[in-house]
Structure 1
Amino acid sequence: MIARDEAPRTWQSMIFNHEIDEPRPMKVICVGCGISGILTGIRLPQQIENLELTIYEKNPEVGGTWYENNYPGVRCDIPSPGYQLTFESNSQWSEFYASGGEIQQYMLNLAKKYDIYRLCKFERAVKSAKWLERVCKWEVTVENVRNGQTEVDHCDVLMMGMGLLNKWNWPKIPGFEDFQGQKIHTAKWDSSIELKDKEVALIGAGSTGIQVLPALQPIVKRLDHYMKGKNWISPVGIGGDELARRKATSGNFKHSQEELDRFKNPQEYLKFRHKIENDIMQAPLAAFYGTEEQKQFHVMSKKFMEDKLVGRPDILNALMPDWSPGCRRLTPGPGYLEACCQPNVDYISAPIKRIYADCIETEGGEKRKVDVIICATGFDVSHQSGPKITGLGGRDLHDLWNPTPEAYMSMCPASMPNFFIYFGPNGGPLTGSTILMLEWVCDYAIASIQKLQREFIKSMVVKPSANKAFSTHVDKFFAKTVFTQPCRSWFKRGTQDGRIVANWPGSGVHSRKALMNPRWEDFEYEMMSETEENPLSWLGNGMTVGQRERTSVTEYLDQKQTINKPVPLNPDVAVESRQPPSRET
């Protein structure tokens, strides 16, 4: 209300003089152009008007993980039909578990089809981002990786699509730097190194090592497989699809030409994809400790490994965990157990004591000469790497996440306005495809950006109470699952008993249902100055763009607008009848 001694303000100064369906300009920056950046480049321009979008990518090409990882045997660890976008199916995957090269080609095809390249600035590494509270914008500092020069950009919304599995380190083993042979990390593969007829040491057997071993075994002279930990090798082809079961039984996961020809029929492939994705999505009960499904899956996994290693009880005893399947990330590993049993493979469960110029010594004192060391020793999953992000009050995101990484709904950290993370803390589905969850995260971010535009909001940031409530729910949820059993897992940032920070508290389809309808009340907002006296000033001048431009304003009559068109209960009744109803009693 205006005080009596104040000069009255005109109505134009208290509302936005714009049409209600004309969104304000919005600048968005996305960091990274793996599948998250590609999704951003496809979805945002389609659904957000008056948008300026820039995608910064440190590599010279799109693809992210699938561009960087090209080690022998690299492939998806869920069936191919489940590892693709809902709106872009590839019916011609050559294998049931797609190779990394094919997935990277899928990424390239997406980028070309939707012309993502027009939005990208390649070989640009984002070094820092700072929230400017006075103007409510992000200041982003970017380094040109070719010449080291820096540039500064600004945006209203910052989206982080860097992923988690992208910073690798050499293992900390005494004497590692003394080795005079060739050393390779699977995350930085050097294809020029000749491995044929070489004596090779493979260190590590997470999902990467499990894929590398069967690819190298037929090539090398001898392969020493150093695996001090334990792991479950997941049964494959156990769902409801007959083709998947048949391929698992045969051990041959390549699709025949007959199968590929059948998949060219869109309806046939859609049915196949429904079956496979349903199998992938229907497994959450196996993660709850003590359920009948969990017990059955434990028995099935145990029998699978026993059958594969029937002739090698030494490997079975060294590899078989005493915790339940799923505590660590499950990997199907086609061919891994079979390769472990081959004559030119030595499975070594003793810890490494030291590495010398030409050999590796285990704690038992045995030394084994090798020509090449391959490290499949994983990534930094601490959430303490990446650009320096500074939010409200100068708060550093890495400090906020030390010791506990948290983000509301997996994507919105505390004190970080207009900020959305793909695959943030608790951003991977309990069951299902991560690529689909990223798609639903993108849709959530789009709805948020549209709200910022529509209501002329300068910034939105999650309330501390909402952020805490989500973390509390996550901890209570996982307390009853196999993930909290005493196994060392990157789900827990490489610890044995730490907090679960990788998984969403539910299945993939659960995350979709949760993210479809954002709880706007869980955010705090800073409005533009015009809204101080009139919070609904965004309603504008009472007009629409169609009225201003003298174009059609009856789009609500179009068939595509009637999303929930009612189905008549009595379809034979003609509503256009001109006969008046009888007024007789």
Structure 2
Amino acid sequence: MVAAPQAFSKITSESIQNDKARHSQHPPAGKPLFSERKVRIICIGAGASGLCFAYKLQRSFRNFELIIYEKNPAVSGTWWENTYPGCACDVPAHNYTFSWEPSVDATAVYVSSQELFQYFDRFATKYNLHKYVQLEHQVIGAKWNGNSWDVDIQNRTNDHVFQAQCDILINASGILNNWKWPVIPGLNEFKGQLLHSANWNSNVDLHGKTVGLIGNGSSGIQILPAIQPEVNKVVTFIRGATWISPVQGLDQHNYTEEERRLFRNEPSQLTAYRKMNETSMNCLFGTFIKGSKTQLDTRVDLTTKMRTKLKGTGLESKLIPQWSPGCRRLTPGINYLEALGQPNVQVVAGEVSRITETGCTDKNGVSHPLDVLICATGFDVSFKPRFPIVGLTGDLQNQWAKEPKSYLGTAAAGVPNYMLFLGPNCPIGNGPVLRVIEVQADYMLHWIDRWQTENIRSFSPKVAAVDDFVEHVNDYMNCTVWTEDCRSWYKNGTADGRVTALWPGSSLHFMETMEYPRHDDFDVTYNGNRFSWMGNGYSQTELDSGADWAYYIRDADDSPALGRSMRRIAKTGRDENHTKESVTAEEKKPTSEVREIQTNGPIVAA
């Protein structure tokens, strides 16, 4: 046995403690390197974004204070608010989950809003996140005071308004939940039951009624087949054509008890199934590129399928768009085209010119008497904040009223210590959105870590960095179908406006772009000397007698590759000179039992 060096053998726990005592005397006053100061955080909204943020903050940080103000009586945001007939997510349920938190209880490929609410509520309960949430409290204003945020909050149960302070403000209020009525003359004159899809009144009985339905976006497409069997008649007012596009292999399918048992008892098979679905969705990005083979093939395929389902209705010319698939958000449209052909459904193409006491008048002057009018007319998608957010250069409400300009969809110039989920030019419609939320949360936590362990007062993206990002986005969008002549919420409800809701690339592109923050794009101010965080000259390790003071000594180099190209190779597995053994593609495939759950032939990526 090799004897320990003499100097090492003299080190005892007692001498370490004595040294620690002396250390507190001799170095300059201060704490060791990377000491954590307490950080106070206010998060707006307890939907998927807010819950993800709380989970990740709790998992990786200790010295923090977090309050999430949620305007609703429950968590889950969109999936608590939307209860209209047929409301469901148009993303497969096993992929509308956090990447590390599968849902073994999903009942179908596409599940109801109630089932999704239960997923997020269970998630909050499992990880004890409810303790951070103040329900029925709505943020109504926020102002940067030079050092921190003053945030105005209204208690919705008694209308009491109070103020709270925080070091960092996170906006997780989302984009698709600030619903709005259509701008149609006479809306308030209607004497029947007036409903909005996002503010549904479940006490209204539709049975045997004549119902008007305005809108054929995602909500309208879900509502029609859900109410058609129970009403006397539906008059559906369709403003324009739209593509109905189930992802190949991901048609609606109710899982059998045997399939659900497989997912519960064999986690690896559920993971394989989720990966298979995720690959299918990640393969769709080529659809959005003008003139690409994927785009052309998709158009032919969808046109054929829609013509087949619409055959005999005479609606082909009204429903099949002239613009490319993907210009508006694609939707599976489960049973929608079939419902349009039912005898109790009347399709009226074009705008509603006026709403009267008894119904709607179409663009040709024809009156349509109605008992109930449903407005599936969507949300305010302007990205303009719903309340004043006053930073260094004024109110973000005013600055974003005409054109929202973000930094990577996550921050705003001139607004210190403020970050938002799913902001302008974030990949909301490019691919799997929950993974985007996870990536943004990680990015935010990187800055929170710097704030907490360095003596930073404030950080915000530079105006020049935001301007360059917007310029790059605008240039890139010219190669996509999103700029074609279709009215879309991607362009704030216009046909020819700037694409403000989408990322200039794929979801995978976004994930890898956001992996490491570009600190030189930010203006950073400090409390005193920018290096005072270096403290008393000791590392955290040296002040812990139980720590490994030689942690960097090891048998082999197991450190991760630092170059971007090598990190990429680690993901792709392609490197002719790389000798590391890897799992073959054949070994990664799910079992035939899992593949058979795909109900419409091979997936796109097969």
TM-score, shorter chain, exceeding 0.5: yes
Is the aligned partner of 1:288 residue 2:283?
no
Offset, 1:553: 4.0
Structure 1 residues 332 and 562, CA gap change in structure 2 (3 angstroms): farther
What CA distance in whole angstroms lies between the structure 1 residues aligned with 2:287 and 2:350?
32
**Letter paired with 1:238:** Q
Offset, 1:368: 2.0
Offset, 1:92: 2.4
Is the aligned partner of 1:374 residue 2:374?
yes
Is the aligned partner of 1:270 residue 2:246?
no
Structure 1 residues 289 and 79, CA gap change in structure 2 (3 angstroms): same
Offset, 1:548: 3.2
What CA distance in whole angstroms lies between the structure 2 residues aligned with 1:340 and 1:463?
51
Unaligned runs of 5+ in 1: 1-11, 572-585
Residue aligning to 2:240: 229
Q: Percent identity?
A: 36
Is the aligned partner of 1:154 residue 2:165?
yes
Q: Residues 304-453 of structure 1 correspond to what in structure 2 (within 5 A)? A: 304-313=305-314, 315-393=315-393, 395-453=394-452
**Letter paired with 1:309:** L
Structure 1 residues 376 and 562, CA gap change in structure 2 (3 angstroms): farther
Is the aligned partner of 1:23 residue 2:2?
no
CA contact (8 A) 2:185 2:354 kept: yes
TM-score by length of 2: 0.85
What CA distance in whole angstroms lies between the structure 2 residues aligned with 1:411 and 1:298?
33
Residue aligning to 1:188: 199
Structure 1 residues 556 and 304, CA gap change in structure 2 (3 angstroms): farther
What CA distance in whole angstroms lies between the structure 1 residues aligned with 2:48 and 2:283?
24
**Letter paired with 1:107:** F
TM-align CA RMSD: 2.4
TM-score by length of 1: 0.88
Offset, 1:428: 2.6
What CA distance in whole angstroms lies between the structure 2 residues aligned with 1:562 and 1:160?
41
What CA distance in whole angstroms lies between the structure 2 residues aligned with 1:266 and 1:387?
44
Offset, 1:69: 0.5
Structure 1 residues 368 and 260, CA gap change in structure 2 (3 angstroms): same
What CA distance in whole angstroms lies between the structure 2 residues aligned with 1:417 and 1:228?
42
CA contact (8 A) 1:280 1:431 kept: no
**Letter paired with 2:180:** N
Q: How many positions carry a matched residue from both structures?
A: 540
What CA distance in whole angstroms lies between the structure 2 residues aligned with 1:100 and 1:487?
28
What CA distance in whole angstroms lies between the structure 2 residues aligned with 1:221 and 1:563?
69
Structure 1 residues 562 and 401, CA gap change in structure 2 (3 angstroms): farther
SS at match of 2:326: coil
Q: Residues 110-125 of structure 1 correspond to what in structure 2 (within 5 A)? A: 110-125=123-138
Residue aligning to 2:280: 279
Residue aligning to 1:467: 466
What CA distance in whole angstroms lies between the structure 1 residues aligned with 2:346 and 2:550?
70
CA contact (8 A) 2:87 2:223 kept: yes
CA contact (8 A) 1:186 1:375 kept: yes
CA contact (8 A) 1:383 1:405 kept: yes
Residue aligning to 1:576: none
Residue aligning to 2:17: none
Unaligned runs of 5+ in 2: 1-24, 562-577, 582-606
**Letter paired with 1:337:** L
Structure 1 residues 33 and 570, CA gap change in structure 2 (3 angstroms): closer
What CA distance in whole angstroms lies between the structure 1 residues aligned with 2:379 and 2:459?
32
CA contact (8 A) 2:382 2:401 kept: no
CA contact (8 A) 2:242 2:319 kept: yes
Residue aligning to 2:545: 550
Offset, 1:555: 8.6
Residue aligning to 1:144: 155
Structure 1 residues 185 and 562, CA gap change in structure 2 (3 angstroms): farther
Offset, 1:570: 12
What CA distance in whole angstroms lies between the structure 2 residues aligned with 1:237 and 1:491?
20
Offset, 1:536: 2.2
What CA distance in whole angstroms lies between the structure 1 residues aligned with 2:177 and 2:160?
23
Residue aligning to 1:482: 481
CA contact (8 A) 2:413 2:461 kept: yes
Which of the residues 231, 242, 248 maps onto 1:238?
248
CA contact (8 A) 1:225 1:345 kept: yes
Offset, 1:297: 0.9
Is the aligned partner of 1:540 residue 2:535?
yes
Render the CA deviation track for 1:50-94: whole Å, top value 9, x for unaligned: 111111111111011111001111111121222110110012211
Offset, 1:15: 7.1
CA contact (8 A) 1:15 1:538 kept: no
Render the CA deviation track for 1:423-448: whole Å, top value 9, x for unaligned: 10012345321111011000000011
What CA distance in whole angstroms lies between the structure 2 residues aligned with 1:164 and 1:118?
25
Structure 1 residues 272 and 179, CA gap change in structure 2 (3 angstroms): same
Residue aligning to 1:128: 141
SS at match of 1:153: strand
- Runs in 1 of length 4+ with deviation above 6 angstroms? 568-571
Render the CA deviation track for 1:191-234: whole Å, top value 9, x for unaligned: 11111111111111100000111100111111111112111111
